[in-house]
A and B are shown apart, each in its own frame.
Chain A
Amino acid sequence: MRRTRKQSNIRAPQAGWDGTDVLLACLAEENVEVMFGFPGAAILPVLDRLWFHAEGITNQTRRKRLAFSGALSTCYANSTERICGRNDIMSKTKTDAAASLAGTNGAQVFHRMLQAEGVETMFGFPGGAVLPIFDELFESPIQFVLTRHEQGATHMADAYARSTGKVGVVIATSGPGATNIVTGLATANMDSIPMVAFTGQVKSTLIGNDAFQEADVTGVTRPVTKHNFLVRDVKDLGRIVREAFHIARTGRPGPVLVDIPVDCTVAKLDSEPDLEPNLPGYKPRGGIGNERQIRIAADMINAARRPVLYVGGGVILSGAAEELTAVARKGKLPVTTTLLGLGAFDESDPLSLKMLGMHGTAYANHAVQQCDCLVSVGARFDDRVTGDLSKFAPNAKIIHIDIDPSSISKNVEVDVPVVGDAKAILAQMLPMIECPDRSAWLAQIDEWKKKFPLTYKADGDIRPQEVIEKLGELTKHDAIVATGVGQHQMWAAQFYGWKKPRQIITSGGLGTMGFGCPAAIGAQFGNPGKLVVDIDGDGSFTMTMVEVITAVQYNQPAKFIVLDNEYLGMVRQWQELFYGKRYSATPHACPEFTEIAKGFGAGAAKITDRRQVADALNEMIRYDGPFVLHVCVAREENVFPMVAAGKALDDMIHSQLI
């Protein structure tokens, strides 16, 4: 951005200025003429002011069965693993692994422990500080996926975890490798995704010396992980790896980072290491909930005349979709889900209200505002969901089922908290649920559904919503769908038609543009043979599309739909509605994505006409290999309904079609 008018005569900020004025004046004072950057909601006021100032080589073959000391490979590994405490299994592993570790070096310990944890695939990028680990990898049955950027590796591991329920594993080198994974850790952390990241660190003796490629990685990542470790001695390595996996997958899951100085991977163990986890303070709240609280909650639900279930990502993480569906159907309770809860309840069920919140359906938002009993299951009352907190669900008693005590009453005062695992609690609750006559409430909801359907104009240019709706139809609502962040993400949420848990792979809490492309690839690695589609925006896709090369190298047939509006559309929409259409820093020139995709070795097609949509989607779905479908869509389409920031949930801007 070039600023034309200089303000260097301005020294001290003056009364009446806002923060943006002060900031820009200070920049002018420093003779800043050019700034480089990227827009987002948090800097919209600044951007707005600037407007005025300026004008395959698949590793499948190596995926043979784990052959290491039998017992190691069979321990607590599996995908179906529940997230509650499993100290019992941990102690079992201990003896098996310990039997054979003396005499091995750190890198060997590392691989043995990973296999003991059931790791089959890991994503990452090599470098000096992790060379011993990569050398040992050569002998390992674990599939290693070389990505094109460490950020991509983290999103792949994250999506692998989201789509399978297993722990995603990432490895990167010290310094720049480690700093490149920060966005991926923060993304996983915000959405409570189980992941373990390993970073190489400079030699222990050099730590703190500003050594080559040194970064204070535990310092940098502390706020964006569930926990992190710096290994100080090879004899601690095995124990810490086990602790890391345990912490990542139990309780409220999350990413854990283990920083390993290179000398710890070279050093040999001269005796048996102690692998007994030492986590006296870690008591994850898995398992069943307090029976009395559940009884109170059930009575409250049964007595309610206008109940709503508000379901979040915790139900997906818990594997509780079945129990949830049973409770909802037994009590005829309408269900709305958050962005991260999509798929926990089949949207074709008449009880489904689809997504709530800023871009949720009007009927979900009205139902929440009018309900007399709101039952939150594994959802955290995010501000994108509640709108103005003081006006949220004003007449409702609130029940909150959550595994994390610190989630309870964090944003919204809760009447009945139930702490524990959603799956267990819903199963406990099911027999207590009754179904009194609530026909008036259900009729009211039907009326809202009729009055405020999700709609769009299907004419002229290709409408992005139409592409997504068609994709849902053609894939029988059964594909795994990753997304970038922006308007396309919201349309995907609104129009795909979600049926099953772990189907949508999207960055909710951090809202990380660039998540979609690597996420689709990571999900594909975890789900061989399944159709995985990335619904992406031109801006988001551009950020990480280089990972298509990874899909090509490993022959992962993920599909990428780029809904290209040549705008950073979501931000443009805010500028259209709240900043007088001053499109500061949101027009976004795009390359020929098809040429790039072909250069990468993927299949590709580009469409510009509505009549091409179905055929192009079919071609993409049938294509044997990764495929990029470039869709030129109506440029200034908006996402509706919309609750503007700070407004009450039922104060929505609707599409003009309603």
Chain B
Amino acid sequence: MKHVISAIVQNEPGVLAHVAGMFAARGYNIDSLVVGRTEDENLSRMTIVVVGDDRILEQVRKQLEKLITTVRVRDFKDIDYVERDLLLLRVHAPADKRPEIVALVDLFRGRIVDVSKSSVMIEMAGPEAKLEAFIDLVKPYGIRELARTGVIAMQRGKTNSEKDEK
């Protein structure tokens, strides 16, 4: 089972090593880990997708909280949130197949960002499930190269969070 956890950490050298090292040492299985800036220059946000049952999720959360440089941890279990993953994908696209591919990209609200003779590069953002569905669909055309950022997530508006608190 996949869980999304977000951790606000101090924006300092070595912090990523602390987090990554903890995951490795405790044998937790992570699907993706994304680090980026936040509205506060002293803090970064890490979004981590962990694989495991509720018990593991609970331990991961506690162990993350225990790290000195971690300021706040939130797991999105039972919380209404928005998740986004960004995909860049180059797919084999000879002239005869190109219209089909373009149509697919449109359908998924992606964009073509680079075109060459035999391939196109596609950019697409969305929840993991959507990207995976898209990847499945273009696979038959021949994927040349694929890069994903991993999931970032944010809780939905205030009213929801108040509800969650209760």
Interface residues of A (CB under 8 A from B): 218-219, 222-223, 226-227, 230, 232, 247, 278-282, 404-406, 409-410
CA distance A222 to B68 in the complex (A): 12
Nearest chain B CB to A244 CB, angstrom units: 10
Nearest chain B CB to A500 CB, angstrom units: 31
Besides A281-B9, A404-B66, 7 more A-B contacts (Cβ < 8 Å) are A222-B17, A230-B13, A281-B69, A281-B72, A405-B65, A406-B62, A409-B55
Residue pairs across A and B with Cβ atoms less than 8 A apart, 5 shown, are A226-B68, A227-B69, A230-B13, A278-B10, A281-B72
* Nearest-CB residue, chain A, relative to B62: A406
Given contacts A280-B10, A281-B70, contact A223 B65 (CB under 8 A): no
Nearest chain B CB to A414 CB, angstrom units: 12
Q: Check if A230 sits within 8 Å of B14, measured CB to CB.
A: yes
The count of A-to-B residue pairs whose CB atoms sit within 8 angstroms is 43
CA distance A405 to B59 in the complex (A): 9
In the bound complex, residues from chain A placing their C-beta under 8 Å from that of B70 are 281
Given contacts A405-B62, A406-B62, A409-B58, contact A282 B68 (CB under 8 A): yes
Q: Check if A227 sits within 8 Å of B65, measured CB to CB.
A: no
Nearest chain A CB to B106 CB, angstrom units: 44
CA distance A230 to B42 in the complex (A): 18
Given contacts A223-B21, A230-B14, A281-B9, contact A247 B68 (CB under 8 A): yes
* Nearest-CB residue, chain B, relative to A413: B55
* Nearest-CB residue, chain A, relative to B60: A406
The residue from A218, A223, A280 contacting B25, defined by CB atoms under 8 A apart: A223
Nearest chain A CB to B117 CB, angstrom units: 43
CA distance A526 to B17 in the complex (A): 36
Task: Let me know if B63 is at the binding interface, CB within 8 A.
Answer: yes
Q: Check if B25 sits within 8 Å of A281, measured CB to CB.
A: no
The residue from B17, B55, B62, B68 contacting A281, defined by CB atoms under 8 A apart: B68
* Nearest-CB residue, chain B, relative to A282: B68
Task: Let me know if B88 is at the binding interface, CB within 8 A.
Answer: no
Nearest chain A CB to B113 CB, angstrom units: 36
In the bound complex, residues from chain A placing their C-beta under 8 Å from that of B121 are none
Q: Enumerate the 7 nearest inter-chain pairs by beta-carbon distance, A residue then B residue, closest first.
A: A406-B62, A281-B71, A227-B68, A281-B70, A223-B25, A280-B71, A222-B21
In the bound complex, residues from chain A placing their C-beta under 8 Å from that of B68 are 226-227, 247, 279, 281-282
CA distance A404 to B18 in the complex (A): 19
In the bound complex, residues from chain A placing their C-beta under 8 Å from that of B66 are 404-406
Nearest chain B CB to A273 CB, angstrom units: 17
Task: Let me know if B67 is at the binding interface, CB within 8 A.
Answer: yes
Q: Check if A222 sits within 8 Å of B62, measured CB to CB.
A: no
Nearest chain B CB to A178 CB, angstrom units: 16
CA distance A517 to B126 in the complex (A): 61
Which B48-76 residues have a C-beta within 8 angstroms of A? 55, 58-59, 62-63, 65-72
CA distance A405 to B62 in the complex (A): 7
* Nearest-CB residue, chain A, relative to B40: A280
Q: Could you mark each residue 1-25 of chain B with 1 if its beta carbon is under 8 Å from any beta carbon of chain A, else 0?
A: 0000000111001100110010001
Q: Check if B59 sits within 8 Å of A410, measured CB to CB.
A: yes
Given contacts A223-B25, A281-B71, contact A406 B17 (CB under 8 A): no
In the bound complex, residues from chain A placing their C-beta under 8 Å from that of B71 are 280-281
* Nearest-CB residue, chain B, relative to A229: B14
* Nearest-CB residue, chain A, relative to B55: A409
* Nearest-CB residue, chain B, relative to A228: B14
In the bound complex, residues from chain B placing their C-beta under 8 Å from that of A409 are 55, 58
Q: Check if A281 sits within 8 Å of B10, measured CB to CB.
A: yes
Nearest chain B CB to A242 CB, angstrom units: 14
In the bound complex, residues from chain B placing their C-beta under 8 Å from that of A227 are 67-69
Nearest chain A CB to B67 CB, angstrom units: 7
In the bound complex, residues from chain A placing their C-beta under 8 Å from that of B62 are 405-406
CA distance A522 to B130 in the complex (A): 61
In the bound complex, residues from chain B placing their C-beta under 8 Å from that of A232 are 13
CA distance A218 to B65 in the complex (A): 20
In the bound complex, residues from chain A placing their C-beta under 8 Å from that of B55 are 409
Most buried by B among A219, A227, A278, A406: A406
The residue from B21, B42, B59 contacting A406, defined by CB atoms under 8 A apart: B59
CA distance A404 to B72 in the complex (A): 16
CA distance A340 to B112 in the complex (A): 64
Nearest chain A CB to B64 CB, angstrom units: 9
CA distance A90 to B58 in the complex (A): 32
In the bound complex, residues from chain B placing their C-beta under 8 Å from that of A279 are 68
CA distance A219 to B17 in the complex (A): 8
Nearest chain B CB to A257 CB, angstrom units: 12
CA distance A218 to B68 in the complex (A): 14
* Nearest-CB residue, chain B, relative to A227: B68
* Nearest-CB residue, chain B, relative to A407: B62
CA distance A226 to B69 in the complex (A): 11
In the bound complex, residues from chain A placing their C-beta under 8 Å from that of B65 are 405-406
CA distance A410 to B26 in the complex (A): 12
Most buried by B among A219, A247, A405: A405
In the bound complex, residues from chain A placing their C-beta under 8 Å from that of B67 are 227, 281
Nearest chain A CB to B4 CB, angstrom units: 20
Q: Check if A406 sits within 8 Å of B63, measured CB to CB.
A: yes
* Nearest-CB residue, chain B, relative to A230: B14
The residue from B18, B58, B59, B63 contacting A222, defined by CB atoms under 8 A apart: B18
* Nearest-CB residue, chain B, relative to A219: B17
CA distance A406 to B42 in the complex (A): 26
CA distance A227 to B8 in the complex (A): 17
CA distance A280 to B67 in the complex (A): 11
In the bound complex, residues from chain B placing their C-beta under 8 Å from that of A219 are 17
In the bound complex, residues from chain A placing their C-beta under 8 Å from that of B10 are 278, 280-281
CA distance A278 to B71 in the complex (A): 11
CA distance A218 to B12 in the complex (A): 14
CA distance A167 to B123 in the complex (A): 55
CA distance A410 to B62 in the complex (A): 10
